[in-house]
Structure formats: structure tokens, C-alpha cells
Amino acid sequence: MGLFRVQARAFEPTYPLLQGAEIAVGWYRLDGRVAVKPNPWLPYLLLGPAGIFVLVFFVYPFLQVFFLAFQDSAGQWSLENFRVMVDDFNFAPSLINTLMLCFAVVPVQICLALVMAMMISRVDRGRDTLLYIWTIPLGISDLAAGIIWLSILEQSGFFNSLLGYAGLIDQPLNWLNYQNPVALFFAVVVAEIWRATAIVLVILVAGVGLIPKEYNEAAEVFGAGTWRRFFTITLPLLRPSLQSALILRTLLAFEVFAVVLILGGIDLPVLMGESFKWQFEYRDAGVAATYAVVILGISIAFTLLFLWALRVPEEAQG
Amino acid sequence: MKRVGGSSAMAWLFGASLVILCLWVLLPLYLLMVNSVSTPDQIHGWPKRLWPEISFDTILFFWNFQGVAQAMFNSIVTAVITLLLSILLGTPAGYGLARFRFRGKNLFRIMVLMTRAFPLPLLALPLAVVYLQIGLDDTLIGVALVHTMLALPFTVLVTFSLFLGIPRELEEVAWTMGCTRWEAFRKVVLPLAAPGIAASAVFAFVVSWNEVFAAAILTVNNQTLTAFLVQSLDESPVHLKFAGGLVLVLPALVFIFAVRKYMFSLWGIASR
Amino acid sequence: MTGISVAGIQKRFGAYQALTSVSLEVRDSEFTVLLGPSGCGKSTLLRIIAGLEYADGGTIDIGQRRVNDLPPRLRRIAMVFQNYAVFPHMTIYDNVAFGLRTRKTPEAEVRTRVMRMAELMDIGAQLSKYSAQLSGGQRQRVAVARALVVEPEVLLMDEPLSNLDALLRLQMRAELKSLLQEFNTTTIYVTHDQVEAMSLADRIAVMNGGHIEQYGSPMQIYSRPATRFVGGFIGNPPMNFLLDDHHSYSRQVGLERPGKAHSLGIRPEDIQVYREMATQCWPVKVGVVECLGPMQQFTAELDHQMLRVTADPDLALHSGETLYLRPDPAKVCWYDGEGRMLPV
């Protein structure tokens, strides 16, 4: 191995005096001898463990998902799993619900986060506190977010109590079941907006921080008003951040699972939940993996779509 | 505040919207806490008061519920394993990326960045099959390995930018003063990087603590707290969920506070 | 006795040849400055001597030891960096003591040596502070103290003064000079500042494009530049070069020139200025006149070639008038077509 050859070379007996001198003086230590020649293996030793880990726990299972989805239980190539999945009465609703949730949630989150980022850029005192409060949901799991909104929206929850105090209802209404699909849908939308706007906010605040103040000041000197500056300076320069926020949030929206499970249970099927059900309740890894392939498929499709739609022309990149 | 509109009415409106947005975040958290310190009867009663009579019945019920203590313990063990694995694997990789030029560096970076574009919890599905074959099914280490995969890209990218921010000369001057590469790292780089490494360690802990899907897929008897709550959804009473929710949320509050300095490097950089 | 001997050093970064066979002899306790424009390879050479970069070819000896394959920690060197590299997480005391401690010096000895060094460098009051609390000049002193306290055989300095403001740089330069004279440590010092180089160096190695153009005492470098590059790089304003391939200008002022001479070089201050027509003079037209206080400078046009000339401040000069110039024959240097100096 190169490593040892190099080490040997550093202390070749060409300079027999050297070793004796080093030890006699005792000034320079001889332990842990390493040749000065940059050890070409060192970066690979440092990155190797992480790289192998990613190969084993990302690349391999990623490929395995496809084997599971496209093979039957006997190991033959087949579309049987897809047939089972599509024939399941929950498949179409789960696909539609997942996409609808994404379309309802993500635009609101982007706009809300944009407003919040603009507001934060105008605050000097208390900026850190504000940022801390607004980013608290970052650390809260979707399960906990579901439970939090359950406490508000369940039959004897705080929302109904408020309506009761206001005299609008005489007895608690049940918002979270199949009889009220629109309310259930919006309950999930509200919970998702509450939980996951913070990640968009952080990406956008970081993006705003990267825009040099001089651009805005120059525009102000030329007489551009607040709105004009926002639309002609800030928004275009924020496009890379908006792009990554949009992609990240859309992908996470397709993974929606625990919030829906807590608030809607079986009344609002989504792709991730169906995948879980097939794996955990029906013990059918093949169909569960087929759902995973569907989620991966729409994730990749939307990533490519956003990359294309929001591309920044090469020559306009600062 | 500076340059807020022209009139005081605009300033007032601006301030009011700040407060409303803060309440929008904080109020649901407050209501969950109210529920958790109310008695089960109050939780099921209607209409409900917006401030509690402090009672620990619900919390105690949760704590004594069959399997909860074990699930909490399991969650902590899993999160600690995740933390250790992602720091031990991620920190050297971040250092390697920051300090060396070598063939394959870009490939590695792209591989790490790519993982961000995939719904990683789904990887638990094929791994569940593999775990059955190699005896890792229903084990905490099996769950922790998947959680490490979730946290590792962040750890690598955060430590990468962390080490990039520590001037190379500090190390080089230590080498000229009699340090081996390892000694220079330990005496000079590590003390400077420690707070950032701690932040990404806390991050890894919370990623694992919060994760639902993979934990629920991979465990049956050895459930983590999230898996326990999801799997016992139908049979458990509603006040159990509220107490569980509070227990899930509390570490998150501490966590966001602890890493607030690194917020942008954790999410800002890593999401690029 | 610790000289440094560098022979045939080559270094390549990808497709870029940073050093092409560089050789350099530094005598014991000599102060050598590596001087050159940015990107000339001077820092790379220093880092190779320090062991921070690995040369592709060539040998390095420090004292009688071949150190090619030794890591920096075994080379008995100390180094001062441009950005000082004072450890921010240690007190100044711990910074200065760092090198002694890694070499397992007894703590009592560490203390006496650090205190002595701190007194010498005038940082005694800062010992319990941290780097962030210090000014640039103080950090600079810490970096020097930290390097000298281990009594290295060789001191390597990479642009140590260039991050200081002008006034402080002047002061530190003088201090550094007297300090290093006292220590008598063999020193290699990298800078792009020619004034710094002239004032500090026993010998200067002028580098350009990855090789050494000339290695000699400051006076040699200044008055007999070995190449046109050196003449043009050293001196402010630089040396004038007059294309003289037809022998016409040298004949005009009565100069003997070597056979292959292509151009002649003359420093601005080595030109006599006459108001009246005189024998053996170049008639020139005055261009821009700049008064600099102790002297004035003007550009002079000689048949479309431009000369820079230094003149007495009392001489009344007007743009556009005609003057007569005569170069000091003893100071004229001759260069061949490749820009190398020819012996007279």
C-alpha cells in the first residue's frame, strides 16, 4: 500500500545520522511518524465510512425498492404489484389527496414565508427572538403537529369551544371525519402550513441575507418605491432560494403521513399512509414498495419541473 | 424598527401582524400544554376553558400507560445511537471535504446532495425486508441506522462549512510547532469546531426523536415513542395522545433554542 | 550552523507549473527575502521549505539534514503567517507556550522562556488576553514571539507585515530587523513589497514566473539588475529601458556597448538633466511633470520611447519644452534580446 511505502521512504537509511540525532536531542518527537508527502489515501479514509454508509443505506435500498416493486413474490419480473395497487379502491383517492394537499399547502407556505422574511428584514430590535419563535415548528415532528391540531380541532377541542362561547353552535361538531371531507382536508392543510412554513422561512431569510444592500439602495436612489423594489430587485434575486425552497417543500409535501394519520386516519388516504398500511397491516412489502416508487416518481417529476421552470439563465448568474 | 411605512398607522399594522404571526406559532403549542395539564375529564368535556387548572393526572396516566416508559427509553437510545453514528461518520467526511482535493470529491458531494431530493423514510421499506434476513428486524440499532441516513447529509454539509471557516493556517502553524496532523486537529481545530459539531449532534438527535414512518415500519415490539403513538392510535384514549405530543414537542423547543446560531448553516446551506 | 540549501525544486498544481527548477543557498544566520509579484511562486517555495507543500522534484537541506520527506514538525523550523494564525481559543500565554509544550518542555522552563519572550516583544500585558482582544500589530508580535520562543534553526515568514497599516508596518519593520539581528536566526522572508525587502534583507531572491531571476545583495539587485524584469520590478519608478539595437542612442552619448546589446537600462536618478544643448546628450521633449517634495519626476520622450527621469526640485520644468539628458556611463546596464544583462 502506498501509505507504508511512503512512511518507509521518510526514514530510509540514506541519512543514518538523522534518527540517532532526533532521539538524542529529544526535542522533536519521533512517535506517530508520518511522511510529509500528502498521504493520497487520507481523504478516502476520512470520507470512506460515510461513503460506504450512504451506499449501503441509500443507494442499495433505493435500488431494492425497484426490485420489490417490479418483482412478484417468486422473484420474477412482473407488474403484479402495480395491478394490485391500482385496483385497490384507496389508490386513486390517496394519489389525488396527496397532490391536492401539496397544491393547497405549498403555495400558501411560500407566500407566507416570503411575507415573514420581508417583515424580518425590516426588524432590527428583537430580530433574534422573532426568528426563534417563528422557527420553533422546525423542531416539531409531523406527528406532534398532528396531535397539536387534534387538540384544537377534535370534537371537544378548543375550536369548537370557541364557537360555543361565541354562541355559534349548541353542541360540538365533528370536523374530522368522512362526513365532513372538506373540513378534514382543510384541517390537514392548516396543520401542515403551521408545521412546515418555518423551513421555507429559513431558506428565504438566508437568501435575503445574500442580496447586497447596495442594489436596494441604488433602486431607492432612482426613486423606486417599496413595492417596485420588492418586485424588481428582491424577488428576482431571491429566485435561487425560492427554487430550492419550492423543491424541498414539494418533496416533503409528498411525504405527508403522520399529520394525516392523526387528524384523518382512514378517512383521508394519502400515498405514504397507504404504503405504511400495506407494509405494516397487510404485510405486503411488494405493494408498499410500489407506492414508494409512485412517490419517488412524482418527486423526481416535480423536481425536474421546478428546475426547468425556475432556471436562472447561465449569463444572469452573479 | 426602521423605515416602516410612512405613517404611524402603518407601523401599528406592521407591529400587529408581527404579533399575530407569533401567536399563530405559539397559541397551538400553548393549547396542547393546556390539554396536557388538564384532567382527562376536562379534556373530554365541552366547552373547554382556555386556561387550565393545573393537574398532572393526564401526564401520570401517560407515564403509567403500558409501554410508554419503554418507548420513551427506546426513543432516547435510538436518538443517541443516531447522534453518535452521524457525528462519527459525518465529521471526518466534512473535514475531508473541507481540507483535501482528491479524485471523486465531486461525486461524493453530489451523492450527499442527492439524498436530499429523495423521500428518505421510504428506504425503510426495502430495509425492513433486509433486516428480517440479517436479524436486525425490530431492533433499535436498525431504526437508528435509517435515522443516521436521514441526519448524515446534514452532518457532512454542516461540518464541511464549519471546517471551511477555520483557517488552514491555524493547523499549519501547529504542524510547524511540533504537532502531528492528528495533534493539530485535536488541539486547534476541534476546540474551535466543537460548538458547531454539538449543534449538528443535537440536530441528529432531534431528527431521530421526531421520525415516524421508518420507526413505525421497522419496529413491532421495540417501539420508539413515535412508533408507539402511531401504532396504538386506534386503541389509545385521546388524552394519551396529548401528553405524548407534549413529550415529543419539549425537546424540540430546547433544540431550536440550542442551535439557533447554526440555524442558517443547518437549513440554509444544507437545502441548496 | 544552519544554512538552507534548496536544489532543483519543481512544483506543479494541476496544469499550472508553479515552480520550475528553483535552487537557492541561504547561509547560516543570513536573512534572505523572496521578492516577486503575486503568483510568482515565492510563497509556494517557502511552504515547500516549511514542509507544508510537497515538491514534485528537487532536494531541500536544512543544516546538514535532507528534509525532503520530513513533516514540518521535524524540520526544526518556525513559521509566521500573513494572517498571524494566532489560536483564537487560547490565551496569548498559551499561544506562545504552544510550541514549547508540544516538545515536552518542563512547565517551569516554559514559563521563564515565555516571560522573557513576552518582555522582548512587549506583549507582557496581553498574556492573559485572547486573540480577538488584540490589535493587528499586537497579534503580529504574538506570532513572532510564538515562532522565536522555540529557538528554531530556521525562521520562515510569509508576508508577515502586509496585513498591517502603513505606519505600523514601518515601525514593525524596524523592530523586526533589530530583533532578528539579535537572534541571529537563519531567516527566509516572503514579501511583494520591494522597500521591505531592500531594508530587511542580507540577500534578495527576485522571483518571477516560478523561477529566481536574480539572487544577490539589495545593492547588487538595485544597481545591476540581472534581467530586465528585475530592473523593471525594483525601484520606484523602475529602471528605464531604451531600445538600442542600431547603436544610435549609445553612440549619441558616447557609450561603449557590448556586441549583442539590444537595449540599455538606466535608473531615473542616474540621468543628468541639462537645460542647454550640450555635447553627448539626448534631446528630449518633457511630458508629465510630478513634484514629489524632495525631488521631481518627469517623463521624457525620445523618438517615441519614454524615459522617466528624476530631477532637482528647484529646476523649473514645463510640459512640452525640450531638455537634454546624459546618462551616467558607470550606471548604465546592457541587456540582450532575451532581457539578460550583458557584462561590460
pLDDT in tens, A56-97: 988 888 888 888 888 877 777 888 888 888 888 888 888 998
Mean pLDDT of chain B: 83
Which chain B residues in 66-105 lie under 8 Å from chain A, judged by CB atoms?
88-90, 92-93, 95-97, 99-100, 102, 104-105
Q: Is the pLDDT of residue B271 over 70?
A: no
**In whole angstroms, how far apart are CA B214 and each of A148, A252, A276, B122, B173?**
21, 15, 9, 7, 46
- Dihedral over Cα of C38, C178, C51, B191: its sign: negative
Q: What is the pLDDT of residue B91?
A: 93
Q: Do C99 and B180 touch (CB under 8 A)?
A: no
Q: Do B175 and C146 touch (CB under 8 A)?
A: no
- Residue with C-alpha cell 435500498? A61
Q: What is the mean pLDDT of residues B236-243?
A: 78
Query: Which of C117, A301, C168, C243 has the alpha carbon at shortest distance from C160?
Result: C168
Please tell me whether residues A244 and A300 are part of one structural domain.
yes
Residue A262, exposed/middle/buried by CB under 10 A (0-12, 13-18, 19+)?
A: buried
Q: For residue C66, which residues of chain A lie inside 8 Å, CB to CB?
A: 14-15
Q: Is the pLDDT of residue A206 over 90?
A: no
Share of chain C above pLDDT 90, in %: 31
Nearest residue on chain A to C55, alpha-carbon basis: A37
Q: What is the mean pLDDT of residues A284-302?
A: 88
Nearest residue on chain C to A11, alpha-carbon basis: C69
Residue A31 neighbours by CB distance under 10 Å: 5
**Alpha-carbon gap: A18 to the closest alpha carbon of chain C (Å):** 7
Q: How far apart are CA C143 and CA C137, in angstroms?
A: 10
Q: For residue B29, which residues of chain A lie inside 8 Å, CB to CB?
A: 136, 148
Looking at residue B155, its amino acid is: T
Q: Is the pLDDT of residue B4 over 70?
A: no
Please tell me whether residues B126 and B245 are part of one structural domain.
yes
Q: Do C85 and B172 touch (CB under 8 A)?
A: yes
Non-local CB neighbours of A253 within 8 Å, separated by 6+ positions: A98, A101, A102, A105, A106, A192, A196
Chains that contact C by 3+ CB pairs under 8 Å? A, B
Cell of B84: 453518535
Using DSSP, state whether C227 is helix, strand or coil.
strand
Tell me the count of B-C CB pairs closer than 8 A: 60
Question: Using one digit for the tens of pLDDT, what is the confidence trace for C50-108?
Answer: 988 888 888 999 888 888 888 888 888 899 998 889 999 999 999 999 999 988 889 99
Non-local CB neighbours of A185 within 8 Å, separated by 6+ positions: A97, A100, A101, A104, A268
Q: Do A10 and C65 touch (CB under 8 A)?
A: no
Cβ of residue B6 closer than 8 Å to a chain A Cβ: no
- Residue with C-alpha cell 504537532? B179
Please tell me whether residues A73 and A89 are part of one structural domain.
no
Beta partners for residue B26, in sequence order: none
Q: How far apart are CA A284 and CA A274, in angstroms?
A: 11
Please tell me whether residues B76 and B17 are part of one structural domain.
no
Which chain B residues in 143-202 lie under 8 Å from chain A, judged by CB atoms?
145-146, 148-149, 152, 156, 178, 180-183
Q: What is the mean pLDDT of residues B42-50?
A: 71
Nearest residue on chain A to C70, alpha-carbon basis: A36
Q: What is the mean pLDDT of residues A297-312?
A: 83
Using DSSP, state whether A224 is helix, strand or coil.
coil
Please report which helix (H) or strand (E) contains residue B64, including its range: helix B57-64
Non-local CB neighbours of B131 within 8 Å, separated by 6+ positions: B137, B139, B142, B218
Which residue of B219, B233, B271 to mutate against A (max A Cβ within 10 Å)?
A: B271
Q: What is the pLDDT of residue C239?
A: 92
Supply the DSSP symbol for C187: E
Please tell me whether residues B94 and B148 are part of one structural domain.
yes
Q: How many CA atoms lie within 13 A of B191 on its CB side?
A: 11
Please tell me whether residues A76 and A192 are part of one structural domain.
no
**In whole angstroms, how far apart are CA B171 and each of A10, A33, C50, C314?**
22, 18, 13, 56
Q: How confident is the model at residue C225 (pLDDT cuts 50, 70, 90)?
A: very high
Cell of C282: 539626448
Q: Is the pLDDT of residue B211 over 50?
A: yes
Q: For residue C104, which residues of chain A lie inside 8 Å, CB to CB?
A: 26, 29
Residue A16, exposed/middle/buried by CB under 10 A (0-12, 13-18, 19+)?
A: exposed
Residue B165 neighbours by CB distance under 10 Å: 12
Residue B90 neighbours by CB distance under 10 Å: 29
Using the 3D structure, point to which of B65, B83, B118 is the last residue of a domain: B65
Q: Do A141 and B100 touch (CB under 8 A)?
A: no
Q: Is the pLDDT of residue B104 over 60?
A: yes
Looking at residue B253, its amino acid is: L
Q: For residue A37, which residues of chain C lie inside 8 Å, CB to CB?
A: 54, 69
**In whole angstroms, how far apart are CA B187 and each of C77, C89, C151, C159, C290?**
20, 10, 22, 26, 55
**Alpha-carbon gap: C182 to the closest alpha carbon of chain B (Å):** 22
Q: For residue A292, which residues of chain B lie inside 8 Å, CB to CB?
A: 119, 122, 125
Q: How confident is the model at residue A157 (pLDDT cuts 50, 70, 90)?
A: confident
Please tell me whether residues A162 and A24 are part of one structural domain.
no
In terms of phi and psi (left: phi > 0; alpha: psi -120 to 50; beta: otherwise), the region of A301 is alpha
Please tell me whether residues A75 and A90 are part of one structural domain.
no
Strands C186-191 and C154-158: parallel
Please tell me whether residues B163 and B189 are part of one structural domain.
yes
Q: What is the mean pLDDT of residues C299-309?
A: 88
Q: What is the pLDDT of residue B272?
A: 45
Please tell me whether residues B51 and B129 are part of one structural domain.
no
Q: How far apart are CA B68 and CA B55, in angstroms?
A: 19
Q: What is the pLDDT of residue A9?
A: 31
For residues B239-250, one letter each, b for 16 or more C-beta atoms within 10 angstroms of the residue's C-beta and e for the rest, the string is bbbbbbbbbbbe
Please tell me whether residues A135 and A233 are part of one structural domain.
yes
**Alpha-carbon gap: C171 to the closest alpha carbon of chain B (Å):** 25
Beta partners for residue A77, in sequence order: A71
Strands C77-80 and C31-35: unpaired
Tell me the count of A-C CB pairs closer than 8 A: 37
Which chain B residues in 48-107 lie under 8 Å from chain C, judged by CB atoms?
none
Please tell me whether residues B11 and B77 are part of one structural domain.
no
Which chain B residues in 238-267 lie under 8 Å from chain A, judged by CB atoms?
238, 241-242, 244-245, 248-249, 251-253, 255-257, 260, 263-264, 267
Domain residues for the domain of B56 are 1-65
Please tell me whether residues A74 and A116 are part of one structural domain.
no
Please tell me whether residues B96 and B190 are part of one structural domain.
yes
Q: Do B180 and C71 touch (CB under 8 A)?
A: yes
Using the 3D structure, point to which of B65, B83, B117 is the last residue of a domain: B65
Question: Using one digit for the tens of pLDDT, what is the confidence trace for B80-95?
Answer: 999 999 999 999 999 9
Cβ of residue B173 closer than 8 Å to a chain C Cβ: yes
Cβ of residue B169 closer than 8 Å to a chain C Cβ: yes
**Alpha-carbon gap: C136 to the closest alpha carbon of chain A (Å):** 28
Cell of A120: 424580518
Residue A35 neighbours by CB distance under 10 Å: 20
In this structure, of A22-36, A229-243, A281-295, the range with the lowest mean pLDDT score is A22-36
Mean pLDDT of chain A: 78
Q: How confident is the model at residue A313 (pLDDT cuts 50, 70, 90)?
A: low
Q: For residue C65, which residues of chain A lie inside 8 Å, CB to CB?
A: 15, 18, 21
Q: Is the pLDDT of residue B2 over 70?
A: no
Nearest residue on chain C to A9, alpha-carbon basis: C69
Please tell me whether residues B105 and B166 are part of one structural domain.
yes
Q: How confident is the model at residue A316 (pLDDT cuts 50, 70, 90)?
A: low
Please tell me whether residues A10 and A147 are part of one structural domain.
no
Beta partners for residue C302, in sequence order: C305
Sheet containing strand C77-80, edge to edge, reads C77-80, C154-158, C186-191, C31-35, C203-208, C211-216
Q: Do A154 and B257 touch (CB under 8 A)?
A: no
Q: What is the pLDDT of residue C93?
A: 92
Which chain C residues in 70-89 lie under 8 Å from chain A, judged by CB atoms?
70-74, 76
User: Which residues of chain C form beta strands (DSSP E)?
Assistant: 4-13, 16-26, 31-35, 57-62, 65-66, 77-80, 154-158, 186-191, 203-208, 211-216, 240-243, 263-266, 271-274, 282-291, 296-302, 305-311, 322-327, 333-335, 341-342
Residue B114 neighbours by CB distance under 10 Å: 14
Q: Is the pLDDT of residue A20 over 50?
A: no
Q: Is the pLDDT of residue B102 over 70?
A: yes
Domain CATH number, residue A153? 1.10.3720.10
Q: For residue A21, which residues of chain C lie inside 8 Å, CB to CB?
A: 65
For the packed helices A142-153 and B190-210, what is the interaxial angle rounded to 10 degrees? 50
Please tell me whether residues B198 and B264 are part of one structural domain.
yes
> Could you give the number of structural domains in chain A?
2
Beta partners for residue C242, in sequence order: C264
Please tell me whether residues A132 and A231 are part of one structural domain.
yes
Chains that contact B by 3+ CB pairs under 8 Å? A, C
Q: What is the pLDDT of residue B127?
A: 87
What single string gives the DSSP state of each residue in B129-183? HHHHHHT-TT-HHHHHHHHHHHHHHHHHHHHHHHHHTS-HHHHHHHHHTT--HHH
Please tell me whether residues B213 and B145 are part of one structural domain.
yes
Q: Is the pLDDT of residue C46 over 90?
A: yes
The predicted model scores a pTM of 0.81
Q: Is the pLDDT of residue C290 over 80?
A: yes
Q: Is the pLDDT of residue B145 over 90?
A: yes
Q: For residue C78, which residues of chain B lie inside 8 Å, CB to CB?
A: 176-177
Q: How confident is the model at residue C1 (pLDDT cuts 50, 70, 90)?
A: low
Q: How many CA atoms lie within 13 A of C159 on its CB side?
A: 16
Cβ of residue A106 closer than 8 Å to a chain B Cβ: no
Q: How far apart are CA A239 and CA C29, in angstroms?
A: 60
Q: What is the pLDDT of residue A161?
A: 77
> Could you give the number of structural domains in chain B?
2
Please tell me whether residues B93 and B148 are part of one structural domain.
yes
Domains of chain C: residue spans and CATH: 4-228 (3.40.50.300), 237-342 (2.40.50.140)
Q: What is the mean pLDDT of residues A120-129?
A: 83
Please tell me whether residues A12 and A40 are part of one structural domain.
yes
Q: What is the pLDDT of residue A112?
A: 93
Domain residues for the domain of A35 are 2-80
Strands C203-208 and C31-35: parallel
Report residue B199 CA to chain centroid gap.
10
Q: For residue A27, which residues of chain C lie inside 8 Å, CB to CB?
A: 76, 103
Q: How confident is the model at residue A32 (pLDDT cuts 50, 70, 90)?
A: very low
Cβ of residue A42 closer than 8 Å to a chain C Cβ: no
Please tell me whether residues A115 and A56 are part of one structural domain.
no
Non-local CB neighbours of A192 within 8 Å, separated by 6+ positions: A101, A105, A109, A145, A253, A256, A259
Please tell me whether residues A169 and A243 are part of one structural domain.
yes
Looking at residue B43, its amino acid is: I
Non-local CB neighbours of C289 within 8 Å, separated by 6+ positions: C296, C297, C298, C317, C318, C319
Using the 3D structure, point to which of B65, B95, B120 is the last residue of a domain: B65
Q: What is the pLDDT of residue B268?
A: 55
Q: How far apart are CA C146 and CA C94, in angstroms?
A: 9
Using the 3D structure, point to which of A80, A104, A132 is the last residue of a domain: A80
Q: What is the pLDDT of residue B121?
A: 82
Q: Do B172 and C81 touch (CB under 8 A)?
A: yes
Please tell me whether residues B262 and B183 are part of one structural domain.
yes
**Alpha-carbon gap: B49 to the closest alpha carbon of chain A (Å):** 8
**Alpha-carbon gap: B177 to the closest alpha carbon of chain C (Å):** 5
Do the Cβ atoms of C264 and C333 come closer than 8 Å?
yes
**Alpha-carbon gap: A286 to the closest alpha carbon of chain B (Å):** 9
Beta partners for residue C91, in sequence order: C130
Q: Do A209 and B264 touch (CB under 8 A)?
A: yes
